[in-house]
Amino acid sequence: MQIPAAFEYARAESLDHALQLLAEHGEEARVIAGGHSLLPMMKLRLANPEWLIDINDLADLDYITEEGDTLRIGALTRHVSLLESDAVAGLFPLVRDAEKTIADPLVRNRGTIGGSLCQADPAEDLSTVCHVLRTELVIRGPNGERTVPMRELHRGPYETSVEQNEILTEIRWPIRPRSSSAYTKVERRVGDWATTAAGACLTMGDAGQIEDVVIGLTAVGLDGGTATRAEDAIRGQQPGEELYAEAGRLAAEDCNPVGDQRGTEAYKRHLADELTQRVLRKAVERVNSTTAARS
């Protein structure tokens, strides 16, 4: 029987109240949202917080809003809302690609994007999505708000730059014209963590070239979350199979997978190559089909 160690529980009534509770209860207080990462860790006694600050009542942190050239996502937005949002799927199709593969419907009913990002699990899908979308994150603390780029959020596995007395409040995805994206994942069975997954977002130029691109890989130890050498090699080039193959080769070279029960190091490296090619192909197809639909 898995039961967490004893702790005290407080329910936050507002964001300010949550911050106040965090300040009050100090180092051993943790925020709980969906709880689908923290509670399993507490049951295994890998996490033993003395206080849990429940933020599930903060409905004002649960939203998807388009504002100018930014899509703003509240940190308490549940996976199911991201999966079902047509606004999100229209602007960033890789989000739906990824959400379909995250755990299962019951877990997606509870788990939140903010919780996923703050868990900082190296095999977590939305972290790659956020790298690929060049996400900005809004963090609120006792002294107000600050924003950090995605590459500065994770300090390492299970460690973020959100300080103990701070809360991640908003995820910001920049909207770019003539852009699209894709995410694909190989998993042992439905709902598993990725053996390897890849995501890409790209912007096409006037002459049909890849004007800008970001490539991310999940669960293969890619430094900084993005395959920058692969990106540099194809930026400015005309899309095509040879180019995708080159990007795949470079991405696979630059990752550092570890062999485990999900696959050998060589297999994961092979997947990094192949999946990079697939997401680039798919993202280019998607830009071209939306551009064709508009003209």
Q: Residue 141 burial (CB < 10 Å; 0-12/13-18/19+)? A: middle
At residue 133, φ and ψ (nearest 5 deg) are -90, 10
CA atoms within 13 A on the CB side of 286: 23
Member of 24, 28, 87, 105 binding other proteins (CB under 8 A): 105
Site string for other proteins, 7-36 (x = CB under 8 A): xxx-x--------------------x--xx
- Which of 34, 239 has the CB closer to other proteins? 34
- Which of 8, 242 has the CB closer to other proteins? 8
Minimum distance from residue 170 beta carbon to other proteins (Å): 23
Residues in 183-222 at the binding interface with other proteins, rule: CB under 8 A: 190-191
Minimum distance from residue 54 beta carbon to other proteins (Å): 6
Span interacting with other proteins, options 105-113, 158-166, 176-184, 201-209, rule CB under 8 A: 105-113
DSSP string, 234-263: HTTSPP-HHHHHHHHHHHHHH-----BTTB
267 touches other proteins (CB under 8 A): no
96 touches other proteins (CB under 8 A): no
Residue 252, Cα to own-chain centre: how many angstroms?
20
54 touches other proteins (CB under 8 A): yes
Query: Tokens 């949202």 label which residue?
Result: 33
- Which of 48, 256 has the CB closer to other proteins? 48
**For residue 70, what are the contacts with CB-CB under 8 A and spacing of at least 6?**
172, 173, 174, 175
59 touches other proteins (CB under 8 A): no
Max CA distance (Å), the chain: 62
- Which of 114, 248 has the CB closer to other proteins? 114
CA gap 220, 258 in Å, rounded: 7
Q: How does DSSP classify residue 62?
A: -
Return the closest-CA partner of residue 282 out of 221, 206, 199. Answer: 199
52 touches other proteins (CB under 8 A): yes
Minimum distance from residue 40 beta carbon to other proteins (Å): 6
Query: Which chain residues interact with other proteins by CB under 8 A?
Result: 1-9, 11, 32, 35-36, 39-40, 43, 52, 54, 56, 103-107, 109-110, 190-191
